[in-house]
Amino acid sequence: MAPVFRFAPSPNGYLHLGHAYSALLNFDLAREVGGRLLLRIEDIDATRCRPEFEAAIYEDLAWLGIAWEMPVRRQSQHFTDYRAATERLAALGLLYPSFESRAEIARTIAAEEAKGSWPRDPDGAPLYPGIARSLSPQAVAELKQADAPMALRLDMARAIAASGPLTWTEQGTGPGGETGTVAAQPGAWGDVILARKETPTSYHLSVVIDDALQGVTHVVRGQDLFWSTSVHRLLQQLLGLPQPVYRHHLLVRDGTGAKLSKSTGSTSLRELRAGGTTPADIRRMVGLSDPAAAS
């Protein structure tokens, strides 16, 4: 069967050079091995995603010379798939609801940090302190009634006990040069949120479900997502889903060494295009050879 690659941007801003690199790399790798390239729009966050950004993704990718298969999978249209997965995890006794606001969690962590250090996840965010893990069924029922903010969290210790040790095949490199067979360390993320009341999924859950439903065999994405793969492998194992191989690539950085980001206003592909940059220039800027020159 032909290998299946995917590019999975979120339409919450315009694509920049980092996206161009990731999309072109997926496109080139798929072509090299006679594989397929899928495009997935990761638009679960209704507050940040906008139709004009989605339209710009199609336009920018086509301008770069990238071709992808239709139909495009848009995550916002598949909430029932993600709900079915949370129901399976709940039936395994691996989820629990938490009801605190972000501010309440931050206060609890600040109090803990005042006493000593508090563990942080691989992205640098403090781990959830597990406040809701011990709520009684009655307290849960009351909080649900009171319409408190609700998130469904993975009980990480139980999930790891259920899955046993896991690894993944890394064809690229991690931030510390990890490659080959990498040991997953999902515990480093704590009790991650898998769904919220207003959004019945999360990045981790939807990416795993979609990669499986779309038959993705090769996940090629930025190194910033390297350690997220630990959670993805865990969810794949718990849900009985196949594991793709992974290739995490270096991030494109700006002149100061910072990673490019939509939120800090890195120059978008459309601004570069408007300034006269060509798709061949973009390939050179991200260090990819011109496929026309290679063939």
Q: Which run of H or E residues covers position 256?
A: none
Residue 221 lies near ligand GLU (rule: CB under 6 A): yes
3-class DSSP state of 289: coil
Q: With contacts defined by CB under 6 A, name the span among 7-15, 81-89, 117-125, 265-273 that binds ligand GLU.
A: 7-15
The span from the CA of 169 to the CA of 184, in Å, is 10
| Cβ pair 75, 35 in contact under 8 A | no
Whichever of 153 and 262 has its CB closer to ligand GLU, that residue is: 262
Position 43, amino acid = D
Q: Which of 3, 4, 5, 9 binds ligand GLU (CB under 6 A)?
A: 9
Q: Which spans in 124-202 are helix H?
A: 137-145, 156-163
Backbone dihedral angles phi then psi of residue 59, each to the nearest 5 degrees:
-65, -45
Say whether residue 13 binds ligand GLU (CB under 6 A).
no
> To 10 degrees, what angle do helices 228-239 and 203-213 make?
60
**Mode of pairing for the β-strands spanning 95-98 and 73-74:** unpaired
**According to the binding rule CB under 6 A, does residue 225 interact with ligand GLU?**
yes
Question: Is the CB of residue 218 less than 8 Å from the CB of residue 245?
Answer: yes
- Apex 207 CA angle, 96 and 128, nearest 5: 35
Closest CB 211 distance from ligand GLU, rounded Å: 8
CB of 222 to ligand GLU, least distance (A): 7
Stretch that binds ligand GLU, among 2-10, 104-112, 174-182, 234-242 (CB under 6 A): 2-10
Given the DSSP bridges, would you call strands 151-154 and 95-98 parallel, antiparallel or unpaired?
A: antiparallel
Q: Does the protein bind ligand GLU through residue 269 (CB under 6 A)?
A: no
Q: Is 201 in the site for ligand GLU (CB under 6 A)?
A: no
Contacting ligand GLU (CB under 6 A), which of 28, 42, 60, 191? 42
**8: contact with ligand GLU by CB under 6 A:** yes
> 287 phi and psi, to 5 degrees?
80, 25
10 binds ligand GLU (CB under 6 A): yes
Q: Tell me the closest approach of the beta carbon of residue 73 to ligand GLU, in angstroms.
A: 12
Give min distance, CB of 290 to ligand GLU, in A.
25
Length of the chain: 295
CB 26 to ligand GLU: min, Å: 9
Q: How many CB atoms lie within 10 A of CB 146?
A: 8
Instruction: Determine, following the binding rule CB under 6 A, whether residue 172 of this chain makes contact with ligand GLU.
Output: no
Structure token digits, residue 134 = 């011990």
Q: Is 11 in the site for ligand GLU (CB under 6 A)?
A: no
Helix (H) or strand (E) holding 269: helix 269-274
Site for ligand GLU in 275-294 (CB under 6 A): none
Size of the site for ligand GLU (CB under 6 A): 7
Which of 90, 225 has the CB closer to ligand GLU?
A: 225
The minimum distance between CB 139 and ligand GLU, in angstroms, equals 35
Quote the least distance from Cβ 53 to ligand GLU, whole Å.
11
Q: For binding to ligand GLU (CB under 6 A), which residues are involved? A: 8-10, 42, 207, 221, 225
